[in-house]
């Protein structure tokens, strides 16, 4: 199959370009070749996430996108930006409320924009495949995009970061649990604990009313065991976690923030009491609670679903 060529429209570079083999350019017509590449999700399901693996780059489609800014730095950091339901990598990239292209252009890091292959655009955070290291689900597809970014673009394997909102926030949590060795830090917005959406039937991308409504509650140890059981026997480093949520979230109840904090305090061996708290930071009506070097919770009073991305605070958490 012929390799995709993405062309830049008059309105700018990136995923605003046409995608797909033989596809027409979007508004503005064709100009120079775009610096974004796209990949078929099915290809990445077949590849184990082992650094240095050579992917078959001639099997390409519109399901995965990588944005390389013109001023990319040597050995660039990688930021994986995971979209919400009813969206895609391309639409998320175009959304001016999602600030990561601006950050990439300013600081020279590479961004990866996965697209969910599931009906409705939600990520599979419910099936055994996705809730297991090397299970072959959506989480492994994203893991392999990380590997590709490192191999293809000389990305720094020690500086890989993950962020996302709503369903993308849920998948960010799942990525931290299933592929901890690939990720340095996570900044997730308006999600749920890893494994909270698990489907009793094993269904892919299933909605879980108990979890979304905040009725799925457990002890910190029980939640911590959910993370540990996604990669049994793993004893290496885990990504540091920044968790955002709003008190007025009517889609994923605010209780999910508390359950997520329970989960990661247990994983890191922290107590449930913050070691420090800062009111009205990083913005008015937000409170930042620090539980240790590896865990930070940021809770917005009066903030609904989903919490707006805060590029400055997330980049600071990542060290970018």
What digits encode the pLDDT tens for the residues 175-204?
999 999 999 999 999 999 999 999 989 889
161 belongs to a structural domain = yes
Surface-to-core class of residue 219, CB atoms within 10 Å of its CB (0-12 exposed, 13-18 middle, 19+ buried)? exposed
One-character DSSP codes across 110-142: EEEEE---SGGG----SSTTTTSTT-SSHHHHH
CA angle in degrees (0–180, nearest 5) for 161-119-208? 75
29 belongs to a structural domain = no
**Model confidence at 52: pLDDT above 50:** no
Higher pLDDT, 163 or 59: 163
Query: What percentage of the chain carries pLDDT values higher than 90?
Result: 77
For the chain, the 3-state helix, strand and coil shares in percent, each to the nearest 5, are 30, 20, 55
136 belongs to a structural domain = yes
Out of 50-54, 219-223, 228-232, 254-258, least confident range: 50-54
11 belongs to a structural domain = no
134 belongs to a structural domain = yes
Number of domains into which the chain is organized: 1
What digits encode the pLDDT tens for the residues 108-154?
999 999 999 999 999 999 999 999 999 989 999 999 999 999 999 99
pLDDT confidence bin for 64, thresholds 50/70/90: low
Cβ-count burial 12-40 (b if 16+ within 10 Å, e if not) = ebbbbbbbeeeeebbeeebeeebbbbbbb
Predicted local distance difference test score (pLDDT) of residue 45: 46
**Model confidence at 95: pLDDT above 90:** yes
- Cα–chain-centroid distance for residue 312? 17
Mean pLDDT of 34-48: 42
**Model confidence at 41: pLDDT above 70:** no
233 belongs to a structural domain = yes
Which domain does 281 fall in, by range?
37-56+70-85+98-110+119-318
Rounded distance between C-alpha atoms, residue 42 and residue 59, angstroms: 9
Which of 84, 204, 186 is closest to 136 using CA atoms? 204
Which of 166, 172, 216, 309 is flagged as catalytic? 166
What digits encode the pLDDT tens for the residues 96-110?
999 999 999 999 999
Question: 211 by DSSP, 3-state: which?
Answer: helix
Which of 305, 267, 307 is closest to 287 using CA atoms? 307
140 belongs to a structural domain = yes
Q: What mean pLDDT value characterizes the chain?
A: 84
Q: How close are the terminal C-alpha atoms of the chain, in Å?
A: 38
**Model confidence at 38: pLDDT above 70:** no
CATH number, residue 235: 3.40.50.1820
Cβ neighbours around 230 below 10 Å, total? 23
Read off the pTM: 0.83
213 belongs to a structural domain = yes
Q: Specify whether the CB–CB gap between 156 and 142 falls below 8 A.
A: no
What digits encode the pLDDT tens for the residues 246-284?
999 999 999 999 999 999 999 999 999 999 999 999 999
Out of 53-57, 88-92, 233-237, 297-301, least confident range: 53-57
pLDDT confidence bin for 205, thresholds 50/70/90: confident
Whether residue 166 lies in the annotated active site: yes
């Amino acid at each position: 199959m012929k390799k995709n060529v993405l062309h830049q429209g008059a309105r700018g570079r990136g995923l605003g370009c046409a995608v797909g083999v033989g596809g027409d350019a979007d508004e503005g017509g064709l100009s120079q070749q775009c610096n974004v590449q796209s990949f078929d999700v099915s290809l990445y399901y077949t590849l184990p996430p082992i650094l240095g693996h050579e992917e078959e780059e001639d099997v390409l489609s519109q399901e995965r996108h990588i944005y390389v800014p013109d001023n990319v730095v040597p050995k660039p950091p990688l930021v994986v930006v995971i979209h919400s339901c009813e969206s895609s990598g391309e639409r998320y990239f175009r959304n001016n409320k999602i600030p990561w292209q601006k950050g990439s252009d300013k600081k020279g890091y590479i961004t990866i924009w996965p697209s969910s292959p599931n009906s409705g655009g939600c990520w599979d955070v419910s099936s055994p495949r996705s809730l297991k290291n090397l299970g072959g689900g959506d989480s492994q597809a994203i893991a392999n995009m990380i590997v590709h970014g490192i191999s293809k673009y000389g990305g720094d394997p020690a500086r890989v970061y993950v962020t996302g909102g709503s369903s993308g926030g849920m998948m960010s949590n799942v990525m931290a649990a299933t592929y901890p060795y690939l990720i340095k830090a996570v900044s997730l917005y308006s999600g749920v604990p890893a494994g909270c959406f698990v489907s009793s039937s094993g269904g892919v991308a299933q909605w879980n009313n108990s979890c979304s409504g905040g009725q799925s509650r457990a002890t910190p140890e029980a939640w911590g065991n959910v993370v540990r059981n996604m990669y049994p026997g793993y004893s290496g480093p885990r990504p540091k976690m920044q968790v955002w949520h709003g008190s007025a979230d009517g889609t994923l109840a605010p209780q999910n923030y508390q359950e997520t904090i329970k989960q990661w305090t247990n994983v890191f061996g922290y107590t449930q009491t913050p070691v420090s708290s800062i009111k009205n930071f990083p913005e008015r009506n937000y409170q930042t609670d620090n539980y240790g070097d590896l865990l930070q919770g940021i809770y917005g009073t009066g903030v609904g679903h989903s919490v707006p991305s805060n590029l400055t605070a997330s980049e600071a958490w990542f060290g970018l």
